[in-house]
Each structure stands twice: as C-alpha cells, then as structure tokens.
Structure 1
Amino acid sequence: MPIANTISIEESGGVSFLLIDNPLCSAKISLYGGHLLSYVPKSDGRERLWLSPMAYLNGERPIRGGVPVCWPWFSDNHGKQKGELPSHGYLRTQTWKVTESDESEKGTRVVLSPTFTRGTGFEYDCSVQLEFVLGDVCSITLRTSNTGVVAFTFNCALHTYFNVPNIDKASLLGLTGDYKDKTDNWAVKPTPSPYRFSGETDRIHLSPCPRVSILDNDEFLTDVESRGHDSIVVWNPWHGAASIGDMDAFGYKHMVCVETAYTGGKELQPGETHSLTQIIG
C-alpha cells in the first residue's frame, strides 16, 4: 500500500517508526504498540508529549511515555488476579500495520490496525482501528467494532503523557465533579480547585469533561479535548518514579498524564462501533 508523501519509515532496534513531517507539524509513531511518541506543531515548535529517556524502543516491553493505547481493559481491571494478565491490555505490546494514509489541508492521516484483537481475557470477535490526524492539532481516535454475534463489554484509554516544564508549577483547568483516588483506597473526593500537584496522583475523574487545559504558572500550555469517554484519568507517580525501571527518578517533574478513558465498562452490541477520541492542541 502506498504511504503518504509526508511519511517516511525508519527502522531501529527491530522496530519500525513512522516519521511525519508536513507544513503543520512533525510527529513520530512507533508501530510497536501503535504508539505516538512525539507531536510538535510548527506554529510554536513545542513538544506536547513526554517520552522517558529510559523508554524501551526495541519491542521488549511497553513504551514509557507518549500515547500508550489501553485496550480491552484499563489498569488491572480484567477480572483476574493482578499480574495474571498484562496491565492495560495487550494492544500496546503488538506490532501494528498501516492500513490507510493520506494528506489534506488538515494534515497527515494515518490509520493503524493491530495484529490481533482476540486474546486471553477477551474472547470476542471485533476489529480495532487507531486513526491519527496530525496537523495544527493532533487527533487520535481508537475505534472498536463488534463484528461478532454477541455483545461484549470493554474498557479503553489513550494514556497520554504530557510534557510540562515543572510539575510544581503545573495545574489543570476544566475538571469538575468527583474522582476516585487510587492512592487512598479508591475514596471518592471532590475535584480540587485550583488543581495543582504536590504528591503522587492517581485519579479517575468520573465526570466526562470535554476539555481539560494544562497550565504552567497559570499560563496556557496544552488543551486536551475528549470524546466518547466516561472519565478522565490523571496520573503522576511523584517520588514513586524512582521504583519504575524505565523512568528516571526525577522524570515525574516533567510529565503529567491526562488520559481520555472509558473505565466504567462500555457494552457494544453486534454491529456497533465505539470511538474514543483525544484532540491535543
């Protein structure tokens, strides 16, 4: 299949990478994991994503940073004992293939498909597509279609790591309602205002807010729009980063995850398609 002119292919460590360079942005996608590693709009030349300098980019393990794809479950919510099945599902450790690519005034469009969707812990017939539109904004859509004859329930997320100059000066704007706090035995708490960071943060916000802004020193940094979601997940490991093998002990200072997610269980009837979309501005 012909590849769009704004895409080149790089091979490194046994993994193929798509390098996108068009008049509006540059970007990099790893076909291992269907994983967006970098997105830089040319309007300001600022990297939106954080990628761990210790990330494994050779296919040995999931990539730390960028935009991991979580599917068909989120975290360890797979109905088995923790560790019995891979955290966040098994799409992020597969090699994906390019099924479509083209160019328009909006930028470069790339559509990827995983090697398989049926696996241990999810024995259903379905198809999955991951579509990127990379231009003056970055749109990512994860589509799940039920191609079988019975309904199934799944969870999914775009687990995006955003680049921030200093987490001590970062804040979020746009989140409302209650959240479940994993660091406090899943206690339900009201969303803080102002929303700042002073320690380990692992929260599932239950209100599907359509837009969250990431601020630095109260000045706009990045907009995150979400569609087709039921929750927003916010994560920063803080000092716990020191125990994460593919993350620098002080890496937490320069990242925050704001994840477009479906964590409450999405039921999909035969013939139905669900789209989860995140737009990064």
Structure 2
Amino acid sequence: MPVEELEDRVIITDPIDPTNTATILKYGATVISWKNQSQEKLWLSEGAHLDGSKPVRGGIPLVFPVFGKQSDETHPTFKLPQHGFVRNSTWEFLGQTSENPITVQFGLGKENVDPEAYKLWGEGKYDVTLILTVSLTKDKLVTSIDVENTGKDAFEFNWLFHTYFKIPDITDTLVNNLIDHQVVDKVLGEEYVEKAPAIGFHEEFDRVYKDVHEDKTLQIIELGKVLVNVDRENLPDAVVWNPWINKSAGMADFTPKDGWKNMLCVEPGHVSSMVDLKPGAKWTGSQILTLGGEIKIQANIY
C-alpha cells in the first residue's frame, strides 16, 4: 500500500522499493521518519512528544511565521512562541497527488490552529493557507511548502525546514560549500564571513548562513563519504545546529542525553530576512534531500 493513513500519521512507501518509506505525523505535519533501504536517515529523540502535547524534537519540524523569538516588540510576530505555531498545530491530510513519485499533501489554515495561539499573530487579523507537499523516490525526499495570503492584509514571515539528520558520529562529520558566506554565529554572538572550506564540529554549534546561492549543494560528509545532499529552492539561508553536551542536557525531551553525537541539523529556510506577502499572493519553497553521490567542491558561485 503506497499511502497508509492512520489516526495520527501517514506512511508513504515507494511503489518500486518497499524498503524506502517516509512517515509524516499529522501533528505539525512533521516528517518523523525517512527510511532508505530500511535504514533511518532522520534523527528523532527517544523523548520526542508525538501526542500533540508539544512540538516534536527531531524529524523535520516546520517553522512559521517566525524563526526563533522575535526581538522587535512592534512586529506582529512578537507575541508568538519560539518558531511560531504550525509545528504544534494538527494539519489536515489532503491525500495523495501522485503515484510515481509517491506524493502526498497536508494543509493548514486558520481553522486548524488553536484560536488563542492564532491571536498572538497580529491579533489574529491575518488569513493564511499552508500546503505541505512530501514526495518520495529512490534515494530522495522532497518537502515543499506553499504559503498563500488568503486575507486582506499583507504579512511578513520566516520559513524553515528544521531538519534533523541521523549521522554515525558528529566528530567525524563535515558540512561543505558554505565558505565565503556571511554567517551569524549565535554561540559567539558575532557575524563574520565563513572561511572554512568544510565545517567540522567539536563544540556547541549554532549558525545562520545568509544568502547561500541556490546552485550550492550542502553536503553532509562522514569520513569522506557523502551521507546526504541538501538542495534548496527559494530558501536562501541555511541554519546549521548541534546542541552538544550542555544544551542537550537542558532539554527535557532530548534523549538519550548523548544523542547529540548522532544528529546534525542542516536547515534550509528564509530566516535572515522576512518574506513580505501581499493579499492574494503565494510563496513557495522546497528542500530536496538526496542520498550519496560524489563530493562536490563549490567554492565561489555567485
């Protein structure tokens, strides 16, 4: 069965290869599993709440309409909790849209969001329709979002695919093709130009890379082997994050406590600036994840 809808989740299976599957939780429309040849490619905390009580720790949570916590008290997103409301709202399963590649869609509108939570965004005056499309083929998972302004007022928003990858060992892992890009380093509280041809990890890491050219493929590499390629459409920024020891210890839903050794977030988004969406307008962004292949060195593509 290529599409199986359960009460709380939807499981899609590649019709050509049944060992290639993805599981999408209706809560948050969070992809909580992507198995290729029966091997899990996403990291999901053992302590993740899958019952709708709080956002899921792991998988691919969705961030909208604000990334992090808004610091500008005058902005309509200021009262919202960190990362907004879509990752802790229950989405509607809209069904299958394609057989090959196997593709499904989920929708979220004002009517699907807790009214008290929605009021925190511009006093609830905005109307938005979100459509998430998830597509699965051999060695590839694509997640795309359509944001449509269905109201009378323009609004600004951030979008982020907060993707947690499962990796063998963070200390053996590199991410390439971010050299020469402006980066906001949240650990150091500084902004500078990245000069490392490949990024390694040996402590807490939390950086936002700005305006990364779409032609650049971000690769997660372990001991010379490409684990996954992260490509983006209309998502100019990339967040790279690993909480390391102390931050992991402080998160109740992050287990096992040494789970930081086996996860890395590489997150395509539009977060260093906001998208301004006029009434009736639509915006689309996509994350394309592909397994394996050759190491690409893309130093200066402008």
Q: TM-score, normalised by structure 2?
A: 0.84
Cα 1:78–1:128 change in 2 (3 A) is farther
Question: Is 1:18 aligned to 2:14, yes or no?
Answer: no
The Cα shift of 1:84 comes to 5.0
The Cα shift of 1:191 comes to 4.4
In the alignment, the residues of structure 2 paired with residue 204 and residue 119 of structure 1 have an alpha-carbon distance, to the nearest angstrom, of 29
Q: Percent identity?
A: 28
Question: Is 1:85 aligned to 2:88, yes or no?
Answer: no
On the 8 A contact 1:268/1:274 being kept in 2, the answer is: yes
Spell out the pairing of 1:237-252 with structure 2 (5 A cutoff): 237-239=243-245, 240-248=247-255, 249-252=257-260
On the 8 A contact 1:209/1:232 being kept in 2, the answer is: no
SS of residue matched to 2:286: strand
In the alignment, the residues of structure 1 paired with residue 207 and residue 79 of structure 2 have an alpha-carbon distance, to the nearest angstrom, of 23
The Cα shift of 1:79 comes to 3.5
Give the partner amino acid of 1:131: T
In structure 1, which of residues 206, 212, 217 is the aligned counterpart of residue 218 of structure 2? 212
The Cα shift of 1:270 comes to 2.1
RMSD: 2.0
Spell out the pairing of 1:169-180 with structure 2 (5 A cutoff): 169-176=172-179, 177-180=181-184
The C-alpha deviation readout for 1:197-255, integer Å capped at 9, x for no partner, is 11111100013243211001121111111111121000100112111111122111001
Structure 1: gaps of 5 or more residues: none
On the 8 A contact 1:141/1:277 being kept in 2, the answer is: yes
Match of 1:255 in 2: 263
Structure 2: gaps of 5 or more residues: 291-302
On the 8 A contact 1:38/1:47 being kept in 2, the answer is: yes
The C-alpha deviation readout for 1:155-197, integer Å capped at 9, x for no partner, is 1100000111000000011223121001112433424222111
SS of residue matched to 2:40: coil
In the alignment, the residues of structure 1 paired with residue 240 and residue 195 of structure 2 have an alpha-carbon distance, to the nearest angstrom, of 11
Q: Which moved more, 1:47-56 or 1:108-117?
A: 108-117
On the 8 A contact 1:125/1:147 being kept in 2, the answer is: yes
Corresponding pairs, count: 270
Give the partner amino acid of 2:44: L
Match of 1:278 in 2: 287
In structure 2, which of residues 240, 244, 249 is the aligned counterpart of residue 234 of structure 1? 240
In structure 2, which of residues 76, 79, 104 is the aligned counterpart of residue 110 of structure 1? 104
On the 8 A contact 2:79/2:120 being kept in 1, the answer is: no
Match of 2:199 in 1: 195
In structure 1, which of residues 143, 146, 150 is the aligned counterpart of residue 146 of structure 2? 143
SS of residue matched to 2:39: coil
Give the partner amino acid of 2:81: P
Give the partner amino acid of 2:60: V
In the alignment, the residues of structure 2 paired with residue 39 and residue 247 of structure 1 have an alpha-carbon distance, to the nearest angstrom, of 19
Cα 1:111–1:78 change in 2 (3 A) is farther
The Cα shift of 1:148 comes to 2.3
On the 8 A contact 1:228/1:277 being kept in 2, the answer is: yes
Q: Which moved more, 1:22-31 or 1:85-94?
A: 22-31
SS of residue matched to 1:183: coil
Q: Which moved more, 1:94-103 or 1:77-86?
A: 77-86
